[in-house]
Amino acid sequence: MSERPSAFVLTPDAWATFLASLYERDDRLDVRRPGETYAPDEAVDAWALSAHAEALRSAEVDGDLWGTLDDIEETAATEDEAWSTIAAFYLARGCVLVEVQGLDEPEDWIFSEGLARRLGLGGP
């Protein structure tokens, strides 16, 4: 995918660091703060993060690409075309794309603007 102002490109190590920086408590996803204590069950992995994403394309988590395409009432002939259509739909609505590059398979996540900002992926 091409670079966009609403896209963040991460390396696999930066993605792992990003996931490790998050916690989930009472169905709220947020960033860990220095000096705070977090329970082990508040750790966030890709599965936990997927519950908060608008859409995703991941080797680790089944993002139901075709179901998402149906939800936005669009069609596509290939998985790449489906993802491009989904990404364009959400980005046009102010969402933020996170691309993890350097992996064998695509790892792309789309978050609402508010969530992205809270997680440090957007403006103030």
> Two tokens at 80?
């790449």
**Ramachandran area for residue 35 (φ above 0: left; ψ -120 to 50: alpha; else beta):** left
Q: Residue 111 and residue 39: Cα distance in Å, rounded?
A: 25
Mean pLDDT of 110-117: 95
pTM: 0.90
Q: Residue 50 and residue 124: Cα distance in Å, rounded?
A: 24
Mean pLDDT of 67-74: 97
The pLDDT value given to residue 78: 97
The pLDDT value given to residue 9: 94
Q: How far is CA 78 from the centre of its chain?
A: 21
| Best CA proximity match to 85, nearest among 97, 72, 95, 101 | 72
